[in-house]
Amino acid sequence: MVQLPRLVKCEQHGTQGIGLVCRHILSAEVPDGFFWSDDSDQARPDAWCNDCEEKLLKDEFSEGWYEQAGFQAICALCWDAAKVRAEAAGTAE
């Protein structure tokens, strides 16, 4: 398993703790869904979109699902902002 850094240097927020999000959330102006795990050893839990959730429910968690989702580390405040955008659009779960 890859060991992730606990902190990231964000251009907007400076040095922050991290959260992981799927590549779809990262690339979307307004995330299409925002699901997150209950378990995390980072500043924020892993989060993923509707498409990744559908695949997760169909295939269950696996390394393949995780790799296909393309999780990337972002700062905790950027994670919070993505969640707020999804909630405002009515797509957060």
Q: What is the pLDDT of residue 4?
A: 61
Q: What is the pLDDT of residue 1?
A: 46
Q: Roughly how many angstroms between the first and final C-alpha of the chain, as a whole number?
A: 28
Q: What is the pLDDT of residue 83?
A: 94
Region label for 9, one of left (φ > 0), alpha (ψ between -120 and 50) or beta (otherwise): beta
pLDDT tens string, the chain, 93 residues long: the values are: 455 668 999 999 999 999 999 999 999 888 899 999 987 789 999 999 999 999 999 988 889 999 999 999 999 999 999 999 988 887 766
Prediction pTM value: 0.86
Q: Name every residue whose Cβ is closer than 8 Å to that of residue 62 and which is 6 or more positions away in sequence.
A: none
The string over 32-65, giving b where at least 16 C-beta atoms fall within 10 Å of a residue's C-beta and e elsewhere, is ebbbbeeeeebbbbbbbbbebbebbeeeeeeeeb
